[in-house]
With several copies, the nearest count.
Chain A
Amino acid sequence: MKKTVIDLLLLKNKQLNKDNFLLKLRSPVPVSDIFPGQFVNVEIKDAQEIFLRRPFSVLDVDYQNQTISLLVKILGRGSKKLTEAQPGVQISTILPLGKSFTLPERNDRIILIGGGSGVAPMLFLAKLCGLDPENVHVLIGARSITDHIDIEEYKPFGNFYFTTEDGSLGEKGYVTNHPVFTNKLNEFTKIYTCGPDLMMKAIGRIALENKLFCEVSLENMMACGFGVCLCCVEDTKAGHKCVCTDGPVFNVNDLKW
């Protein structure tokens, strides 16, 4: 799909928990070729002191109904404003942006590890990867049960595991403490992760030590989102790479972790 600046119609804006909202938007044109890990850059209209767009990963795409879902966590003014948008408004977006995760192959056995709003591309990938659900393991970490989002819809696509820092859901601790991660890691052929930097780094380093395939989806401060400003660089082994076009998905082997 060609990159395009396009107004999407907000169909639904559902609060999932204190800070997280699910936005469902309809595109006037087909949304083929949007893959897990890619993102959209959203204009925040009518907000004083917001000048740039805000990037959000694609949580899901309904190719048939031409809808795109986003998981928006309130972090600052822009995300807050976006979660206040009422169904019926048009929201200007630029999409699709960035490189997607490498889709697994038929015999892969994968683990997807999401933290915070980083679960978005993980759920999308679980749904889209086309593997036998038996071979898809999704590990989700959060601070507390109240920060968890409902993943009911994605249950059929894999085996789900949870950790919370306070133990209110699943195992207590970080994702890297969960048995599926600590004990079974070498059973997986591919690791995918998206979430807080510290979490991804911990996972990435373990993957490197164990020489496992591991892709991470980075987030940083972007001005354009499509490769012209060179603001969003990650210092990789091959030098500064743009997270918006060379990423956001990187193989840990390429990073200086």
Chain B
Amino acid sequence: MVNLGIKIHELDFKNPIMLASGTCGFGEEISDFLDLSRLGGIVVKGTTLKHREGNAYPRMAETPSGMLNAVGLQNKGVDNFIANIYPRIKDIDTHIIVNVNGSTIEDYVALTERLNELDKIPAIELNISCPNVKEGGMAFGISCPSAEAVVKAVRKVYSKTLIVKLSPNVTSIADIAKAVESQGADSVSLINTLLGMAVNAETRKPVLSTITGGLSGPAIKPIALRMVWQVYNAVKIPVMGMGGIMNATDAIEFMIAGASTVQIGTAIFIDPTIPVQIIDGLALYMERHKMQSVSELIGSLQC
């Protein structure tokens, strides 16, 4: 048996396959389909300090090999998470990571402090890249100073594993990655969705209530792969890669480009069993290529 284990900062992941935030609920919604304990980790739905209703319907548009979403961080807030959801999911035998969102730095800090109390949340993913909210969100992730400021403030109050989720809607994602690394991020995850738009030619109206939305799915894979490779070459902290991963080959490509772990997002909508299929496919690939450890794969691009 090959060893799929991988360490990120101080955390041992049983394998590099995680579920991406906003595409797997809190895990429980898909527990009918797969054994959650087989996963490397689950990044649960983007959470905010207060309850958020999210954006108006319509929030979704299908696009060639992808989709746009404009959910806008609908969630019941951190109190509800702690009181109602956490007790239900905390004993799932995988790493449960919370995706942290705010409109201000104070929001991020306050939310992080609340999550810090939770024993079974070993890491947070700081989302400075949500393109679907008016305030905060992506605004923090598209300039080095603002990205640094959030990470610095959060780092002060959080000693567990701090992952920062980067926006692809920037001129140089490597610069942003270096900025957050300099403020003590333990890992960066990328990419969040690309800002896109859909128009209904017949009605001449935007398809989404918010006009623009976030593009995900296989369409963005080449861009995501490029960014993972750029960031891998720019920072020392481990990279979590995502963007359009649909099968084991895609996941392996990300790891070759430099991802230590990968997250599966939109693919879950098509088939929620894909994550476990990818774990199995990765193991088979490693056997076939006579690899003992996934670390042989990470960043193994020959160029």
The chain A residues found within 8 Å of chain B, CB to CB, are 2-5, 43, 49-53, 92, 94, 220-235, 239-240, 245
| The one of A5, A225, A231, A239 that contacts B273, using a Cβ cutoff of 8 Å | A5
- The answer to whether A231 and B60 touch across the interface, beta carbons within 8 angstroms, is yes
- The answer to whether A235 and B57 touch across the interface, beta carbons within 8 angstroms, is yes
Q: Which residues of B contact A94 (CB under 8 A)?
A: 271-272
Q: Which of B17-25, B148-156, B168-176, B229-237 contacts A (4 or more CB under 8 A)?
A: B17-25
- The answer to whether A52 and B62 touch across the interface, beta carbons within 8 angstroms, is yes
Q: Which residues of B contact A231 (CB under 8 A)?
A: 58-60, 69, 71
* Complex: A227 Cα to B71 Cα, angstroms: 13
User: Nearest chain B CB to A93's CB is how many angstroms away?
Assistant: 11
- The answer to whether A5 and B271 touch across the interface, beta carbons within 8 angstroms, is yes
The chain B residues found within 8 Å of chain A, CB to CB, are 22-25, 29-30, 32-33, 45, 53-54, 56-67, 69, 71, 74, 217-218, 266, 268-273
> Are A53 and B25 CB-contacts (below 8 A) given A221-B58, A230-B59, A233-B59?
no
Q: What are 17 pairs between A and B in contact, CB < 8 Å?
A: A2-B32, A49-B218, A52-B270, A92-B271, A94-B272, A221-B61, A222-B60, A223-B60, A223-B67, A223-B269, A228-B25, A228-B272, A229-B23, A232-B59, A232-B60, A235-B57, A240-B57
**Closest B-chain residue to A54, C-beta based?**
B62
* Complex: A4 Cα to B23 Cα, angstroms: 17
- The answer to whether A3 and B33 touch across the interface, beta carbons within 8 angstroms, is yes
* Complex: A227 Cα to B45 Cα, angstroms: 12
Q: Which residues of A contact B61 (CB under 8 A)?
A: 221
**Closest A-chain residue to B213, C-beta based?**
A231
Q: Which residues of A contact B67 (CB under 8 A)?
A: 51-52, 223
- The answer to whether B71 and A51 touch across the interface, beta carbons within 8 angstroms, is no
Main secondary structure of the interface of A (DSSP, over half): loop
User: Nearest chain B CB to A191's CB is how many angstroms away?
Assistant: 24
* Complex: A228 Cα to B53 Cα, angstroms: 15
Known: A51-B65, A226-B272, A231-B69. 5 other contacts (CB 8 A): A4-B32, A51-B66, A228-B30, A229-B22, A231-B71
> Lowest 7 A-B CB distances belong to which pairs?
A231-B60, A224-B269, A3-B32, A228-B25, A227-B29, A231-B59, A2-B32
* Complex: A36 Cα to B177 Cα, angstroms: 51
* Complex: A232 Cα to B60 Cα, angstroms: 8
User: Nearest chain B CB to A63's CB is how many angstroms away?
Assistant: 20
| The one of A5, A50, A222, A235 that contacts B33, using a Cβ cutoff of 8 Å | A5
* Complex: A5 Cα to B267 Cα, angstroms: 13
Give the residue among A43, A94, A232 with the most B Cβ atoms within 10 A: A94
| The one of A49, A53, A228, A235 that contacts B56, using a Cβ cutoff of 8 Å | A235
* Complex: A220 Cα to B57 Cα, angstroms: 9
- The answer to whether B60 and A239 touch across the interface, beta carbons within 8 angstroms, is no
User: Nearest chain A CB to B242's CB is how many angstroms away?
Assistant: 15
| The one of A51, A224, A240 that contacts B53, using a Cβ cutoff of 8 Å | A240
